[in-house]
Amino acid sequence: MFEIDPKFTRILVTGPHRSGTTLVSEIIAKRLGFEAVRECDLATPRFDGDTEPDLSLDAVQSFLEDNDGVVLQGATCFKWLSELQREDLATVYVVRDEKEIIRSQVAYRGRRLDKPSEKRATWDRVKSSLVCPIVVDYEALIAEPEFVEDREGWEPRQTEPGY
């Protein structure tokens, strides 16, 4: 699942918010020896204590231009799939049960963050235009021994039951 042509030195992991993009990013980065980067690290706070800083297309494009050997976790980046395409970018879409995603969104943020079925329909329409589209099934991934045995460095919100 993660044997990617070496020409792909940048990987974007996207999908609905709370679908497992962070977890999938961490696993891919570890397997490939890449650096895992979260989109929130590229966002700019709008005010002191901002819990949902602003992420811009320019910031993401600059990051991808300046860095290789990276796996960028980017649920928010989904809306820019076309603009972000490069010859060295593989795009991973995380599939997870829609009810689980929505339950996790509400548990984590107190509200629904997006519409998973709409994102999936959009992915199905645009994937043929992407340089290297890959689909990862969240449930299959977390069943792998690596997930169960090695959670070092992962925040509790990615691994605690209920999220």
Distance CA 60, CA 15 (A): 16
- What pLDDT is recorded for position 162? 39
Domain span at residue 83? 10-154
CATH of the domain at 57: 3.40.50.300
Phi, then psi, of 54 in degrees rounded to 5: -80, 125
Is 74 in contact with 60 (CB distance < 8 Å)?
Answer: yes
- What pLDDT is recorded for position 153? 58
Question: Is residue 160 situated within a structural domain?
Answer: no
Q: Based on the structure, what is the number of domains in the chain?
A: 1
- What pLDDT is recorded for position 161? 40
Distance CA 94, CA 21 (A): 6
Radius of gyration from C-alpha coordinates of the chain:
15
- What pLDDT is recorded for position 160? 46
Question: Is residue 1 situated within a structural domain?
Answer: no
Question: Is residue 5 situated within a structural domain?
Answer: no
Average pLDDT per 10 consecutive residues for the chain, totaling 163 residues: 85 96 91 94 90 91 97 96 96 96 91 93 96 93 65 53 39
Residue located via tokens 């699942």: 1
Phi, then psi, of 110 in degrees rounded to 5: 80, 5
Q: pTM for this structure? A: 0.87
Question: Is residue 142 situated within a structural domain?
Answer: yes
